[in-house]
Amino acid sequence: MIGRYRDVNKNFRTRLERIIRRAGLEPWPMLFQDLRSTRQTELEETFPSHVVCQWIGNSPKVASKRYLQTTKEHFQKAAQNPAQYVQVKPGKEQERPTGNPGTYRVLTHDTPKSVAEEGLEPPTRGL
């Protein structure tokens, strides 16, 4: 990737910090890891994880633990398609959330049922 500077005595961090300061910004603590993390996250939006990991030189396990990020765009995209209401039958109106925050009313076969915050599946904690 960097062909011009092959000398092992070159300090890329110092050079990068100078460039960042000249741009009017303050360097952050983990420059290269953050840059790598951002790029891995961007590439995984388009390409499969195993391909990106081969290009970058890490494993999917390492990428998941150290590099992949949840971005503002992920949250914005999720907010555009909220899955708060369950569609039961075409033509039936769905009830809006009422009562306790985190509890939703869902109409199923003409009988309203409460769905707690943890969802429809039984809790598996403590097993």
Whether residues 74 and 88 share a domain: the answer is no
Whether residues 98 and 49 share a domain: the answer is no
Whether residues 74 and 95 share a domain: the answer is no
Whether residues 19 and 36 share a domain: the answer is yes
pTM (whole model) above 0.85: no
Q: Is residue 85 exposed (0-12), middle (13-18) or buried (19+ Cβ within 10 Å)? A: middle
The domain in which residue 106 lies consists of 84-119
pLDDT tens digit sequence for 5-56: 666 677 788 888 999 999 999 998 898 889 899 999 999 999 999 999 999 9
Which pLDDT score is estimated for 2? 55
Whether residues 67 and 88 share a domain: the answer is no
pLDDT band at 111 (very low <50, low <70, confident <90, very high): very low
% of residues, the chain, pLDDT over 70? 56
Q: State the Cα–Cα distance between residues 25 and 68, nearest whole angstrom.
A: 24
Structural domains in the chain (count) = 2
